[in-house]
Amino acid sequence: MTKLHVPILFLLMMISFRVVAESDVLPLKPPKQGGVYVVAHRGAHQDIPENTLAAYQKAIEIGVDFVEIDVRTTKDGKFVSVHNGEIDAYANGAAKGKVSDFTLEELRAIDIGIRLGPKWKGTQVPTFEEILDLCKGKVGIYLDLKQAPIPPLVEAIKVRGMEHDVIWYVGDGEVQELEQVCPECIPMPDPGPEANLPKLIADLKPRAIASMWKYCSPSFTEPCHKAGAIVVVDDGGPQTWEKLLEWGVDGIQTDEPAELVAVLKKREGEKK
């Protein structure tokens, strides 16, 4: 009897270990090219109004893995993607003030495309829900939480079954709130300088960590990977890509997504 029980017990232990290990695996789709995630900062906004549906659609066509959105709340509690806290830079003189001081209807009445030429006349600030619907099944979302409550954003994401399609760029305190509201969601805190990294890893045990080019290095990526976290870095321009790839980053956020996709495709082709 003992000889029969030992292998069965061993098998049960192995199954249990495998279940735990698989539960810790980051539930993201693999990168589309080159083994590195491409994040289109504010969408593909070269000659296209940034943070708009047109910029996000262009990024999808380019073949990026994520589009970065900046979520803010309007005066009447709606959610939009606008990078700056004020609308001034986008309104071509038609309006001034904080995004949070405008209702959604008032924001939508502002033409944020005409400043880039008549081709983009009539372009509107997109809602969070419009972005989710555009991206679902096509591209992931890098959600930069600028100024918005977490629970209703999670609700909109869950309704569409997109919990594993969104990585959340959030502060330390927001990580805990997000995990309470949505355990399956993916927070991605940013420690800033490397000196803050050990504490962040120990306290939060994140599966994704954000950084900037100026703080990244092999000594940054290595402990992240040892802790089971991917590293997504905001680049310092195309001239920084070679170093970032050499350091083993898992994702690069860039204003030149088409060029980065081309570099990664070429790099992958050279390996074959």
How far is the C-alpha of 117 from the C-alpha of 48, rounded, in Å?
Answer: 10
Q: Other C-beta atoms within 10 Å of 3: how many? A: 6
- Rounded to whole angstroms, how far apart are CA atoms 41 and 256? 8
Per the CB < 8 A criterion, the answer to whether 240 and 253 are in contact is: no
Per the rule left: phi > 0, alpha: psi between -120 and 50, beta: everything else, 218 is alpha
Residues of the chain with pLDDT under 50: 1-23
pTM for the full model?
0.90
Q: Which amino acid is at 70?
A: D
SS3 137: coil
Report which DSSP code applies to 183. Answer: T
Place of tokens 């990026």: 64
pLDDT of residue 156: 98
pLDDT tens track for 19-78: 333 335 689 999 998 899 999 999 999 999 999 999 999 999 999 999 999 999 999 999
Angle between helices 218-226 and 197-204 (to 10 degrees): 10
| Assigned architecture for domain 34-84+129-271 | Alpha-Beta Barrel (3.20)
Calculate the alpha carbon distances from 35 to 97, 180, 206, 238 in Å.
42, 31, 21, 18
Longest CA–CA separation in the chain, Å: 84
Domain extents for the chain? 34-84+129-271
C-beta pairs of 238-247 under 8 Å, 24+ apart in sequence? 238/263, 240/213, 244/213, 244/216, 245/36, 247/216, 247/217, 247/218, 247/220, 247/221
Is the CB of residue 100 less than 8 Å from the CB of residue 75? yes
**E runs forming strands in 148-245:** 166-169, 186-187, 208-212, 230-234
What secondary structure letter does DSSP report for 101? Answer: G
What value, to the nearest 5°, has the Cα angle with vertex 236 and ends 235 and 240? 85
Where does residue 165 rank: exposed (0-12), middle (13-18), buried (19+ CB within 10 A)?
buried
Q: Which amino acid is present at 25?
A: V
Cα 167 from Cα 231, distance rounded (Å): 12
Query: Which among 181, 185, 194, 259 is positioned nearest to 231, based on CA atoms?
Result: 194
Per DSSP bridges, beta strands 251-254 and 230-234 are parallel
- What is the identity of the amino acid at 94? A
